[in-house]
Amino acid sequence: MTRSKSWGFPRWGGYGNTRRETVSVRMCDWHGCDEPGDCPAPKFRDSPERFWFCQEHAGAYNRNWNYFKGLTQEEAERVQREEMKRARGYQDSGAWRDTSSGVTKEERERDAALEVLGLDGTADQAEIKAAFRDMAKKHHPDANQGDAKAAERFKSIMAAYELLRE
């Protein structure tokens, strides 16, 4: 295969290969994740816009799609936009800030997720599961008709559980 001979030397390959140098690695769009994001996922139902997730988060994101089934497309889009805004604002507001040195990013995320479920660091998987069930039931959009924030809370609870369960 002589055609692939210069493949390993893109800078010598002439203008046909200049694109390689301008493409930067895209990071996973999942809040707090810094893995390369190479799995596209539609931002909204039937939308050409894409999030880019790492494999793990693409899976988590796809599982959460079920949650939107009960919403109209308009509602689902609004919730997702707010969710992304909230995730970024969270970071900016310092809610996820490292308050004590020597704490890893994973531990911080775990603590924040536990807080969402109303638990502390001593919670085991059984307690996490039980708390998730309670919270999901209580904050489910179906049980909170007319409460625009319920969907947001529910999504946070889903995300927290996704992070905590092993």
Please report how close the Cβ of residue 63 comes to Zn ion at its closest, in angstroms.
14
CB of 119 or CB of 160, closer to Zn ion? 160
β-strand partners of 11: none
Residue 67: how many CA atoms within 13 Å on its side-chain side? 26
58 contacts Zn ion (rule: CB under 5 A): no
Choices 48-56, 76-84, 88-96, 100-108; region in contact with Zn ion by CB under 5 A: 48-56
148-164 vs 105-116: helix axis angle to the nearest 10? 130
Provide the strand spans (E) within the chain: 39-42, 50-53
DSSP state of 118: T
CB of 54 or CB of 150, closer to Zn ion? 54
57 contacts Zn ion (rule: CB under 5 A): yes
Interface with Zn ion (CB under 5 A): 28, 30, 33, 35, 54, 57
